[in-house]
Structure 1
Amino acid sequence: MTGQETAHGPKHKRDLTRRKVIAAGAGAVVAAGVGGTFAAGAFAGEKTADTNGKTAGEVCYKLTSETTEGPYYIDADKLRRDVTEDQEGIPLTLRLKVIDSETCRPLANAAVDIWHCNALGVYSGYEAMGSGGGGGGGGGTPPSGTLTGTPTGTPTGAPPGGGGGGHEEPTDDERYLRGTWRTDKKGEVVFRTVFPGWYQGRCVHIHTKVHVNGTWTDAGYEGGTTCHTGQLFFDEESVLASAEVEPYSTNSTTRTTLDEDTIYPGNGTEGGLLTLKYKKGAIARGVVATLTMGVDPEATHDGTDGSVQPGASASASTA
């Protein structure tokens, strides 16, 4: 967002470079047992993360916080709902709803991107950079060091995988844990993936973008504007539970907590904090993560211009 824009002031649209998403089949429907069983509703012993005390109505009228794009975005992701490929990890069903923050009406036919690291902190397309760009351990090899159950210390230096630092050119052709899909008439989109791991300097998170005013073609999604660039976050209790499960338990990188993270705005669901549901004591069976994202379809937020600082909301970034 430019210095002249505010959350409710004049807007402008910027045509994006022609954007083509490679169609990779029809995309897998969320698997039964994860999407099916979990979508049915609450069950005995399930864990639901704190949503910072906000009701659905309160969340509805809030702009979801903008964040930086990070260095590992690839603007050629596959058009698919199942982004797992061959990655090991806790099954994660990610259910997002995109609404207009002014009217609360759902945004249908928007293109939603997600991308995140694997259980060991490695991004596809950047395996040579190792765990979150920290160097070494390319190809998913766990970094060396001593495993610590409870995160300690504070992050030092720029966060390697979610903050600034500019865009990095991909080092390989891998594209696991990346994908794009359209919202339905209710503004909803569902992805099947795995619970992300962690890497030095960042808490557990998923990157996302929302594109509007483009065209869906046989080749994918083209043109339009990016009205939201953000990150989705996981509560500490759930992350610590995941750390007990392989292969997360082999990730020896010192983890940054949600409170220590320099990107998370600290404002609950408005800042991208997911609501998580899973059977307590059996997180390995799968997790359902949900969030309603309030966006301004008339704005342009591509997360690369530097106007949105780490940990700043869209409205605060102009201060």
Structure 2
Amino acid sequence: MERKGFLKSLIIGTISAPVLFESCKKSDGTTTSGTVTETGSGNSSGCTTAPTETEGPFPTHSPSSYVRNDITDGKSGYAMNVKIIINQNCVALANAIVDIWHCDSEGNYSEYGGGGMQATNYQSLHFLRGRQVTDSTGLATFKTIFPGWYNGRATHIHVHVYNSSGISLKVTQIAFPEGSGTALALVNGYKKGLSGYTYNSSDNVFSDDKSGVEIAAVSGNTTDGFDLTMKINV
């Protein structure tokens, strides 16, 4: 199937996935004039299978409805380009479906809220959620903002990968490098700061990632924006 036709079919079709309702200090980079040149591994080998993580508690209700590269939907924050490379058995996986979603600068998710875990009601909005299909090199790209954080979790991005037939291959999450000179330190939690922040080592998802497989490679600055690169082996 031609790529354009394949994308069109994704918009029409809906792929359902199980919802798992769970609660959703490294310094290895250098900086120059407030610019992060590179931090994190981004799972550069691409051969270590990504850990399977929870999809909840804020998964996208209808991911096939959001086939788009720009997922900002007008949300303010520091610009960030996300490059996700999908490998299968260390080989680039073309035509894989990649869904991502994350919170805004204040730690809130679209499609949820109004009580419980999130007081702000964004049930009718769909910001910071999107779907793309990988090219021949396994690459899917998204234009978004640097995520904020909320109580009990480190800054993160959710990822759900399907094969070209819509069969789920991997649900995982992307962590951010931490410590002096990292993008996380430059952003400094936006208006919230980092007081009370949960670091990767204490996070209920990332605390067992001793080798840093889930930590992305991040570069850039708050003026020009950031670039995040992550290889995910399914």
Q: Normalised by the size of structure 2, how large is the TM-score?
A: 0.77
| Matched residue, 1:294 | 233
CA distance in 1, matches of 2:39, 2:227: 11
Give 2:53's match in structure 1, choosing from 67, 81, 89.
67
| Matched residue, 2:200 | 258
The answer to whether 1:184 aligns with 2:135 is yes
Note if contact 2:36-2:218 (Cα within 8 Å) is conserved in structure 1. no
| Matched residue, 1:118 | 104
Give 2:173's match in structure 1, choosing from 206, 212, 231.
231
| Matched residue, 2:15 | none
SS in 1 for 2:201: coil
Give 2:224's match in structure 1, choosing from 267, 279, 285.
285
**Identity across matched positions, percent:** 27
CA distance in 1, matches of 2:140, 2:118: 34
Note if contact 2:112-2:118 (Cα within 8 Å) is conserved in structure 1. no
Matches within 5 A, 1:1-319: 21-22=10-11, 46-51=36-41, 56=44, 59-77=45-63, 78-100=66-88, 102=89, 104-129=90-115, 134-136=117-119, 138-139=120-121, 172-214=123-165, 224-237=166-179, 238-243=183-188, 248-250=190-192, 254-264=196-206, 265-270=208-213, 272-278=214-220, 282-295=221-234
CA distance in 2, matches of 1:185, 1:178: 23
SS in 2 for 1:127: coil
Q: 1:199 to 1:62 in 2, by over 3 A?
A: same
Alpha-carbon deviation of 1:135? 4.2
Aligned letter for 1:94? V
Q: 1:87 to 1:251 in 2, by over 3 A?
A: farther
Note if contact 2:61-2:111 (Cα within 8 Å) is conserved in structure 1. no
| Matched residue, 2:25 | none
Q: Normalised by the size of structure 1, how large is the TM-score?
A: 0.58
CA distance in 2, matches of 1:124, 1:51: 29
| Matched residue, 1:36 | none
CA distance in 1, matches of 2:153, 2:11: 30
| Matched residue, 1:314 | none
Deviations 1:173-221 (A, max 9, x none): 210000000000110011000000000100000000100142xxxxxxx
Aligned letter for 1:240? A
Note if contact 1:91-1:192 (Cα within 8 Å) is conserved in structure 2. yes
CA distance in 2, matches of 1:106, 1:74: 26
Alignment RMSD (CA, Å)? 2.4
Structure number with larger C-alpha Rg: 1
Q: 1:268 to 1:287 in 2, by over 3 A?
A: farther
CA distance in 2, matches of 1:74, 1:89: 21
CA distance in 1, matches of 2:36, 2:150: 28
SS in 1 for 2:191: helix
| Matched residue, 1:27 | none
